[in-house]
Structure 1
């Protein structure tokens, strides 16, 4: 495995969720995630309970590959960042152990001037330092 600058990776990762330019966002998705990269979201409790109530064994949500990842990031940008309501920020610096990087992030409400949510990110990276699997746990 090549040397990975974990902090740089998570800064680019958080940056893509805040990126207003769709082409820069797409390019960054390609740089940060492996070609078949997978983003798995453990949704907030309310959404999880609704999915389980509908008969789903698990309520994890997935996006795989650059097209789906770009759509996922774009949807989050359009819903939370574009209206000027939130920005996503790193809350806790990267920690790395071999091919795993973890960090905490927060959604900062610009109108209230405070963090109103966040979560834990658990990234598994490939030998090139790109994300193979991105486990997102929303608080």
Structure 2
């Protein structure tokens, strides 16, 4: 998988409403012990990722994550920026993720930084 494909699948995971389709994306894209850490979440494994995305869907119904700019890549690391917005609306959150890949190209770690987000 190239960097663009990985980013596309990553955002598809966040935006997929169907639980079975989302599980397939996670299986294809993430290592079984992959971790995600940002100021709001700290999860490990496919089950943790599934619960995290379900929580995000509940917190922000009708919103979608989108890539902003381009994907940066070196060695086994990627970096991209994103927004979270409802269709036709200004973003309610945005940030940058630093991604580490396994040797076979699956995501093993995401460290997310928020540039802006709603106060909870």
Q: 1:39 aligns with which of 31, 36, 39?
A: 36
Q: What is the root-mean-square deviation in Å for CA atoms of aligned residues? A: 1.4
Larger radius of gyration: 1
The aligned counterpart of 1:64 is 44
Structure 1 counterpart of 2:112: 136
Structure 2 partner of 1:52: none
Task: Tell me the equivalent position of 1:21.
Answer: 18
Gaps of 5+ in 1: 44-60
TM superposition outliers: structure 1 runs of 4+ over 3 Å: none
1:102 is matched with 79
TM-score by length of 1: 0.77
The 2-side partners of 1:78 and 1:23 are apart by 17
Bigger relative contact order (CA 8 A; separation at least 6): 1
Distance 2:58 2:105 in 1: 28
Following superposition, the deviation at residue 37 of structure 1 comes to 0.3
CA shift for structure 1 position 38 = 0.5
Counterparts of 1:1-20 in structure 2, within 5 Å, are 4-20=1-17
How many residues align structurally?
Answer: 115
* Alignment correspondent of 1:91: 68
> Given the alignment of the two structures, is residue 119 of structure 1 paired with residue 92 of structure 2, yes or no?
no
* Structure 2: gaps of 5 or more residues: 116-120
